[in-house]
Amino acid sequence: MGALLSLAALAERIPRVVPARQYVLCHASPTLDHLTLTAPALVLAARVAAVAGGIVMQSRRTPGRVLPVVWLVIIAALLITADGVDAHGEALAAKQAATGFREGGCDYVPQDYTATPGWFFR
C-alpha cells in the first residue's frame, strides 16, 4: 500500500500526468530552489520507507497488527509533508510572480516554475 501511495505521489508531480500551474519568475529565490528539491526528496523517502517496511514485515514470522499501521503512518506523514512543501513553494512562486516585469528589471532570463497540485493542500 505504501509503495503504491509513494508511486502515485511521484506521478502526480509530473506535469504531463497532472495539470500544473505555471509561474514566470523574474528574480532568483534560493528558498524556492531548496523547496523544489525538498518535496521530491520527501516522496523518495516515503518510497524508501515503503520498501524498508516491506522488508521488515517479511523478515518477521508474525508482524502483528500494529507494525503495518506504523509504517503506513510514516509513509503518509512523509507524503503529507511533501505536499505541504509543494504548497509553500507554490505560494512563494505566486507571490514572486505577482510582482510583474519591468524591462531590464529581471535578475536573469525569466524562468517558469511549475506547481503541481497536491492531495492535501489545494
Instruction: Give domain limits for the chain.
Output: 26-115
Across 65-80, average pLDDT: 89
Partners of residue 22 on adjacent β-strands: 114
> Which pLDDT band, with edges at 50, 70 and 90, does 73 fall under?
very high
Across 70-95, average pLDDT: 90
List for the chain the helix, strand, coil content (%; round to 5): 60, 10, 35
**pTM, whole model, 2 decimals?**
0.80
Gap between the Cα atoms of 17 and 72, Å rounded = 25
SS3 3: helix
Would you state the cell numbers that stand for residue 44, as one nine-digit string?
A: 523518495
